[in-house]
Amino acid sequence: VIDSAEVKRLGREAGFGAVRICSADDLEPEGQRYQDWISAGRQSEMRWITMEYARRSSSPRTILPGARSVISVALAYWGGTRPEDGALRGRIARYAWGADYHRVLGERLRAFSDAVHAQAGAEHRCFVDTGPAMDKAFAARSGVGWQGKNTNILTTHFGSFVLLGEILTTLALSPDRPLTVGCGSCRLCIVACPTGALGPEYSIDSRRCISYLTIEHRGSIPRALRPAIGQWVFGCDICQDVCPPSAKAFHQSAEERRAWAAGVRSALRPEESHAEPQTLLPRAARATVSGPLYSGAIRPSVDLLWLLSLSHEEYVTEFRGTAIRRAKVWMLRRNAAIALGNVGDGSCVSGLTRAAREDEHPVVRGHAAWALGQVAARTGGAVVAAILRELLQAEDDMSVIEEIGSALDAAGRRPSSG
Ligand code: B12
Ligand code: SF4
Ligand code: SF4
């Protein structure tokens, strides 16, 4: 026999920043909203998100017959103020700076579930991000946090910088209540999102989200969205970085809070955020890096030219044990090409030319050609236009030829007809 207080004690002992409980009844209206979201195409090309998947995710007893409670947990992962990026560096979202959270969260959740089982028996099923379970809806129902307008769960102690998991259990535990706080009239995340992915209400359109585009999207990224991606090469933290409850949790000193406010102001000026994306985030002179995901080496950013020519072998060794392996190696090269198109200068032309000529993946060649066009448009284009014309002669892939044509246009030199 075990009571809710003891379950929570075991959860905290396993290393979770919040542990709360809710009933295992079907999630409504969240389940219906999930299906509406899919009907609107907002899952984009994440093909595993189907109507059936949404139904199972909102109905715990289809996963664990006899389930009576859901124990919802949050792992805080803030890793400190983002260090200065430096020129020509690609940004990585905070949750992927260190060890793969699936492993860290999974190990803790299994240890927690084993401890509960040892005291009370019963059947349990653990979920760490990937299973059919609406992590955020359980976290909101149990009061781990509230769902903000950036669609993430915000906790009172760690803002939205938490990763979520849950244990479905046949134990009958007394449930907690949802929180009574919320975002109020704040809309900062909605206006700061550089691609306009947030809204209406508390909903996201993955098709426009940089996190989706850089990590999940396996193809060409729409040209219209590329400038807004700035220097992000894996994920995006903007709608969390501008969020006051999340900032309050971590920016303690007056200096840090001033730097945060300056970052928010520049994020809200779209023309600046596109031209100079490195001003988007709060900066501070020092970087304090700690937390469960950051015990080893951390990588908040990468050299863009290095990433642009990343081999499969380097990808395997350099990103072993990190969440970055969620993206394929060629997707990282594609993302590097976009970031270089946004911030690169003349020093990137030879790297981009090599990628546009030699990369085995046509999407990377096409994006490198696009980046050349962007660099040319910024820095004066005669030499780059000549390179693009040369590339056009050698290229056979229709999609890349189309990209080169468009890049020539951007560089201000259309190919002469005939
Ligand atoms: C698919 C997915 C994505 C997609 C879609 C994101 C999304 N917002 O759902 C993409 C690839 C874009 C993505 C990005 C990110 N993700 Co993600 N992702 C998932 C995943 C695997 C499934 C989420 C899902 O099913 N979404 C479907 C939609 C329908 O869910 P929803 O947004 O919650 O929908 C609700 C609202 O729209 C609301 N709603 C709709 N209409 C209305 C109207 C009213 C009036 C109201 C009140 C509400 C409302 O109701 C819906 C149902 O509850 C979960 C893990 C999991 N199994 O849950 C992680 C998860 C959501 N991701 C996570 C993280 C960390 C991220 C990133 C921060 C990573 C990064 N730094 O790049 C970004 C954040 C982007 C963002 N602003 O959301 C964490 C979030 C942790 C937290 N604190 O909330 C999760 C929970 C993983 C985990 N286990 O920790 N992700
Ligand atoms: S993660 Fe970035 S692109 Fe996606 S909704 Fe948030 S701010 Fe917008
Ligand atoms: S920025 Fe404002 S509206 Fe967006 S999630 Fe944070 S508190 Fe809510």
pLDDT digits (tens, 9 = 90+) for 210-232: 999 999 999 999 999 999 999 99
Mean pLDDT of 316-327: 95
**Confidence at 196, pLDDT banded by 50, 70, 90:** very high
pTM of the model as a whole: 0.94
Alpha-carbon distance of 238 to 131, in angstroms, equals: 26
Say if CB 259 and CB 283 are below 8 A apart: yes
Task: Output the CA angle 239-243-247, nearest 5 degrees.
Answer: 125
**pLDDT for the residue numbered 290:** 63
Mean pLDDT of 135-147: 98
Give the active site residues: 129
- Residue-wise pLDDT for 252-302, tens only, equals 888 888 988 888 988 886 543 433 333 333 333 233 456 788 877 789 999
Give residue 137's identity as a one-letter amino acid code: A
Ligand 3 centroid to 140 CA: how many Å? 15
| Closest protein CA for atom 6 of ligand 2 | 239
- Residue-wise pLDDT for 65-103, tens only, equals 999 999 999 999 988 888 887 789 999 999 999 999 999
> Mutation test of ligand 1: which of 46, 55, 82, 151 has the most ligand atoms closer than 8 Å to its C-beta?
151
Closest ligand, as measured to the CA of 213 = 1
**pLDDT for the residue numbered 278:** 31
- Residue-wise pLDDT for 369-386, tens only, equals 999 999 999 887 789 999
**pLDDT for the residue numbered 153:** 98
Percent with pLDDT over 90 in the chain: 80
Alpha-carbon distance of 161 to 251, in angstroms, equals: 13
**pLDDT for the residue numbered 381:** 76
**pLDDT for the residue numbered 271:** 47
Which strand ranges, in their side-by-side order, compose the sheet holding 301-303? 232-234, 89-92, 301-303
| Closest protein CA for atom 1 of ligand 2 | 236
Percent with pLDDT over 70 in the chain: 93
- Provide CB contacts within 8 A for 239, sequence distance 6+: 150, 152, 189, 192, 193, 198
- Provide CB contacts within 8 A for 45, sequence distance 6+: 216, 217, 218, 219
Task: Quote the distance between the C-alpha of residue 150 and its chain's center.
Answer: 12
**pLDDT for the residue numbered 105:** 95
**What SS3 state is found at 235?**
coil
> Mutation test of ligand 1: which of 32, 49, 135 has the most ligand atoms closer than 8 Å to its C-beta?
135
**pLDDT for the residue numbered 273:** 41
- Residue-wise pLDDT for 20-42, tens only, equals 999 999 999 999 999 999 999 99
Which ligand 1 atom is the nearest neighbour of the CA of 31? 52
